[in-house]
């Protein structure tokens, strides 16, 4: 977490917001006990030289001001850090609902809690860290620089440092990540199924069109009276 905050502190110092922070966009440079961490995917990043608004992002990680389409600042990234920290400590998402709409409502209502079963080994300092980031008002959230000075990130004693290390529940986090990947796979399967169904319907419609045109032509022919018949009727009437 310290490396993530250091990267964000530099980024925000350049007046740039990432605006798409989530576990998938935080990568390890190598498999080691203390690897370097890199922030990736700057597709939504923005230099904040003028008022900026956006509704882009992943529902469970975006800040309330994104949902409300209000002017954005680097504080939106700090909300995402609060969500990521919550997930790292518990293996659960604080605002995840059954649908995206429910998730967004939970975000706006600040509807989350520290469930006993998931946070039984979590220190009060870690919870305080999260609470100072998951704040509705952007101006009241800790900045990246302030986070680096928080006791949970910069422990005063070795005991606090050890407690911070053990508070990160990697087992639950891996379960959360596996569940996320499974959900993404299911969404991909559903999308492919819909595309195949749509393609089949279009192909069926295309094959049916010539027949339909032929039937329409037959109907029109029945309604048209031959010219010779019309002439005979006209001559008989005279």
Selecting among 20, 124, 140, 216, the annotated active-site residue is 20
Phi and psi, residue 17, nearest 5°: -105, 140
Taking CA atoms, 230 is separated from 119, 176, 217, 224, 227, in Å, by 92, 81, 21, 10, 5
Torsion of CA 181, 184, 185, 189, to 10 degrees: 170
Euclidean distance between CA atoms 62 and 56, whole angstroms: 8
Pairing of strands 26-28, 16-17: unpaired
Residue 128 catalytic? no
Q: Under 8 Å CB-to-CB from 103, ≥6 apart: which residues?
A: 59, 60, 95, 96, 97
Bridge partners (DSSP) of residue 47 are: 16
Bridge partners (DSSP) of residue 27 are: 38
Euclidean distance between CA atoms 22 and 86, whole angstroms: 12
> Catalytic site residues?
20
């Amino acid at each position: 977490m310290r490396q993530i905050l250091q990267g964000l502190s530099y980024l925000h110092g350049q007046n740039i917001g990432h605006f798409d922070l989530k576990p998938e966009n935080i990568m390890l440079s190598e498999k080691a006990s203390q690897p370097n961490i890199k922030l990736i995917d700057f597709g939504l990043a923005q230099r904040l030289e003028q008022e900026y608004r956006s509704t882009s992002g992943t529902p469970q990680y975006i800040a309330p001001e994104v949902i409300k389409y209000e002017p954005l600042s680097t504080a939106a990234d700090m909300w995402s850090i609060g969500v990521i920290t919550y997930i790292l400590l518990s293996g659960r998402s604080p605002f995840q609902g059954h649908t995206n709409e429910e998730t967004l409502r939970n975000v706006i209502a600040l509807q989350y809690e520290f469930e006993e079963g998931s946070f039984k080994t979590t220190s009060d300092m870690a919870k305080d860290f999260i609470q100072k980031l998951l704040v509705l008002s952007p101006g009241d959230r800790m900045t990246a620089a302030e986070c680096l000075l928080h006791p949970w990130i910069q422990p005063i004693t070795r005991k606090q440092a050890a407690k911070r290390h053990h508070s990160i529940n990697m087992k639950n986090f891996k379960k959360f990540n596996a569940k996320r990947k499974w959900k993404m796979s299911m969404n991909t399967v559903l999308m492919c199924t819909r595309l195949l169904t749509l393609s089949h319907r279009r192909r069926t419609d295309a094959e049916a069109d010539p027949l339909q045109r032929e039937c329409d032509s037959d109907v029109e022919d029945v309604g048209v009276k031959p010219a010779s018949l019309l002439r005979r009727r006209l001559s008989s009437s005279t």
